[in-house]
Amino acid sequence: MKKIILLLATLVFAASAHAQKTCSKADESNAQKAIDRISSWSTLNATWKTYRHCDTGPVGESFTEAILRLVIDWKNMNQLADAMGKDTDYNAFILTHLKSDEAKGDAQDVYSRAKGACPKGLDTFCKDVIVAVNPPKAPPPATPAALPPVATPQPGVPSPSTPSPATPDKK
């Protein structure tokens, strides 16, 4: 029992240490070099695991570019889907980059591949990709209710809303 508690405490400490790690200038430089060499889903995953603490600013933009290169190539998507299914943080990393402003220029290409070339058995994965690059549109603004037609007054004819002149009472 003590071993389990010690193991859990170690895991919690390690997780919090990882979350608090800052990206040094050396890390940023090394991350950029590593990202430039990404050519497969496995190298992307390994690079992300090593440099995930640097996923902001220029490094974040480089990660987005690497993800887009691989997604637009649309090869071995089962490897990406499998890795995303096993790691919720990696899943969030990929989808966040696909939703980013930097990815907007390639959104249509990614959408068309996910919609038209989804590998067999990866329907849920492809739907997630589609939602990431093509979020639901806001509903159009409500149109005002139609106003009643306006009657054009005719000369000499009183309008129905105008009271007619009073006629003298005959007694």
Instruction: From first to last of the 171 residues of the chain, give the pLDDT tens digit.
Output: 555 554 444 444 445 445 568 999 999 999 999 999 999 999 999 999 999 999 999 999 999 999 999 999 999 999 999 999 999 999 999 999 999 999 999 999 999 999 999 999 999 999 999 999 986 666 667 666 666 666 666 777 666 665 555 555 655
Q: What is the pLDDT of residue 17?
A: 46
**How many Cα neighbours within 13 Å face the side chain of 69?**
15
Sequence spans of domains, the chain: 23-133
- Give the model's pLDDT for residue 8: 46
CA distances from 151 to 146, 161, 162 (A): 15, 10, 12
Residues 6+ apart with CB under 8 A from 63: 35, 48, 55, 93, 97
Q: How far apart are CA 64 and CA 98, in angstroms?
A: 7
pLDDT value at residue 7: 44
Q: In sequence order, which residues have a C-beta less than 8 Å from that of residue 111 and are 6 or more positions away?
A: 130, 133, 134
pLDDT of amino acid 6: 45
The answer to pTM > 0.75 is: no
